[in-house]
Amino acid sequence: MKKNVEIKKLGINGEGIGYIDRKIVFVPGALPQEEVIVEIIKQTRTYSEGKLLQVVKPSKDRVTPKCRSYDNCQGCTMLHLSYFKQLNAKKEAVRESIRKYTEYDLSRTIFKDVIAAPSQEGFITAVNLPIVDFKGKISFGIYQRDSKYLTLMTRCFKQHPIINECLLKLEEILTTNKCKTYSDKFRTGLRFLKVKLIDNKLQLVFITGRDGLKEEIVKEISQLPHVASIFMSVNTSKHQEFDELGYSKLYGATRLELHDDKNQYLVSVKSKLPENIEMMWKQNQTIKSLVQDSQKIISLNCGIGLLELNLDQEIVAIDEKRYQIDDAKLNAKYLKKENVTFIAGDLDSKIVTYAKKKVYDTLIIQNERYGLSDTIKDTIKIAKFKTIIYACQSHSTLAKDLADLEKNYKLERIIGLDTSCHNSYLTTIVKLVRK
């Protein structure tokens, strides 16, 4: 069924929103003030979903996507919208979420324009990719949700050129050597490739079946430009939490060096780094500026401690992943930082242990897209932290958590950082001050 639809606004995932017979219709790829022709592909009692067939009247903010796979890849839902309009849309999405879930008066809150990413192309420096067979060639790609369409990731314009160059060379090596992709039946073959680019050096991790990676193939890969280390993990389980198991080093450096303006850090194969290192440093600088008046800090989800190791206050930093804490402790010793205590363990139990002392005036929370547990929220109310800095990549999750805290905390400042260009995700940092 084809319908003409006038798009009124953008949804929280970057899709266009219009109405057909007063029922809301979501149209991925459509923009506000556009008239479009859509095919209705799903209907429920309360909403419909439409596939964009034609833009009859385009928006002045529409641009031609730079990605050749854009029509089928679901990784960049806003690439057809001019970049600075993307930032405006993300800011408004944060506003809408906070208005929807909380009673905060945003006219009393400082919320400046979203901080743009310095680079909107070639900024991804960490990827985890399935190894696939594409027309008889070993490659790296992602099957899109709810479809059988395979998006090859060897030329993704958001990935750093060094990563793309390496992926193309790996395609050639693995295909020439007649490698096979993973077989569930025989539990052999290549499953996944994890790549980290650190100061122009590549760390490669192959997740394989029982047959592993042949020595002659490892030797050939080691000769590629920028390759500093190669690791392997034999993993035939159905789950994909590969870091819980060990890695075998096949070639090169055990750790790579990561630099910021002041320090040098050691990064292991298990160290988790965000895909946009450039914006991670910006996020850390932003949080540092928000805690200048703090004396003692508890920091949750600290990872390998790149934020905490740049702060001067007394800090207890907690993460559930022991291998993250091991790296953090190593770097604290390496940098001779004695003001930070890194703790591995369950966040709920650890925050109760430290918060009940009531000597910590500030709580830092770094979340991806998951909300706070009831235990953490209850502890916040009891501990009476003077200041809370909460960073989250999901504005709806953030807003729901704020709703549970607004009785005790005022929302002083909101800062948006575009850590993930061309899709609806935004890293939002809020500063809460106890009433």
What is the identity of the amino acid at 145?
R
pLDDT of 147 reads 65
Architecture of domain 2-62: Beta Barrel (2.40)
- In whole angstroms, what separates CA 272 from the centre of its chain? 11
Placement of tokens 């020439």 in the chain: 176
- The domain covering 85-119+275-434 belongs, at the CATH homologous superfamily level, to Vaccinia Virus protein VP39 (3.40.50.150)
Domain 85-119+275-434 and domain 126-260, same fold? Reply is no
Low-confidence ranges of the chain (pLDDT < 70): 145-147, 239-245
pLDDT of 240 reads 63
CB burial readout 385-411, b (16+ within 10 A) else e: bebbbbbbbbbbbbbbbbebbbeebeb
pLDDT of 370 reads 86
pLDDT tens-place string over residues 47-82: 999 999 999 999 999 999 988 888 778 788 999 999
Distances, alpha carbon 162 to alpha carbons 137, 156, 199, 202, 251, in Å: 21, 11, 11, 8, 19
Which sequence spans correspond to the domains of the chain?
A: 2-62, 85-119+275-434, 126-260
Question: Residue ranges for the binding site?
Answer: 319
Looking at CATH, the fold of the domain delimited by 126-260 is given as OB fold (Dihydrolipoamide Acetyltransferase, E2P) (2.40.50)
Tell which residue, 72, 155, 425, 165, has the closest CA to residue 274: 425
Residues 6+ positions from 138 with CB-CB distance below 8 Å: 131, 132, 171, 174, 175, 179, 181, 190
What is the model's pTM?
0.93
CA atoms of 288 and 75, how far apart (whole Å): 31
Question: Residue ranges for the binding site for S-adenosyl-L-methionine?
Answer: 319
Tell which residue, 410, 383, 399, has the closest CA to residue 100: 399
Bridge partner residues of 411 (DSSP): 432
